[in-house]
Chains A and B, each alone.
Chain A
Amino acid sequence: KAGVTQTPRYLIKTRGQQVTLSCSPISGHRSVSWYQQTPGQGLQFLFEYFSETQRNKGNFPGRFSGRQFSNSRSEMNVSTLELGDSALYLCASSLEGRGNTEAFFGQGTRLTVV
């Protein structure tokens, strides 16, 4: 079974631009979460989607948004990029249900804002 796939792996954007990152979960996983990883702040939760609905959101500004499609694939968008948005963005997918507790992560998208 294929793992979580994130595209692209690397991105370079200019301050003020917007960017869209893509995540394909493991087949059958309907919960998709996004995390930001930076040297200064570590791993921080962005949001979680399930059945095309945002179910949980972290403490990030409204410039960070996401969506989920009917096939469970998810995208996140960052508008008006700032230098501080440079980070590794990780997507994770999970099976539904309290008995399915673990999240499986993709390789991440490394975003550099210049």
Chain B
Amino acid sequence: AQSVTQLGSHVSVSEGALVLLRCNYSSSVPPYLFWYVQYPNQGLQLLLKYTSAATLVKGINGFEAEFKKSETSFHLTKPSAHMSDAAEYFCAVSLFLSGSARQLTFGSGTQLTVLP
């Protein structure tokens, strides 16, 4: 079974400051890992994914994440926060089940506030 833990349900940063959102996973097999962003009353938008290629993954809007197997972590970072980054962020792990059946397991989410 797989699970995801996001540390910090709320994170506040100043505009221009570093964004760091934490995600730890538990998986019995090599995982596929994702970060999604959700704006109010919207669906989920994929920011980036890790699928066992490069451990440093670059995504959209200047975000990146580093897969660290020894720490079972997949933290999301952005060097300089922008007001438009204010949203809720979800880390997710995907497990391919029998055949190609798939299922995403999400963390509880981190609400990012960007202060002017």
Contacts and interface: CB of A to CB of B under 8 A. Distances in A.
Instruction: Decide whether A and B assemble into one complex.
Output: yes
B90 A43 contact: yes
Given A31-B102, A58-B103, A98 B41 contact: no
B45 A105 contact: yes
B106 A108 contact: no
Interface string B92-108: 00101101111111111
A99 B106 CA distance: 20
28 contacts: A31-B102, A33-B103, A42-B108, A42-B109, A43-B90, A48-B101, A48-B102, A50-B100, A50-B101, A55-B100, A90-B44, A92-B104, A94-B102, A98-B96, A98-B100, A101-B32, A101-B34, A101-B49, A101-B94, A101-B102, A102-B34, A103-B46, A103-B94, A104-B46, A105-B36, A105-B44, A105-B45, A108-B43
Given A6-B43, A56-B97, A56-B103, 14 more contacts: A4-B43, A42-B106, A48-B101, A48-B102, A48-B103, A50-B101, A55-B100, A101-B102, A102-B46, A103-B46, A103-B102, A105-B45, A108-B42, A108-B43
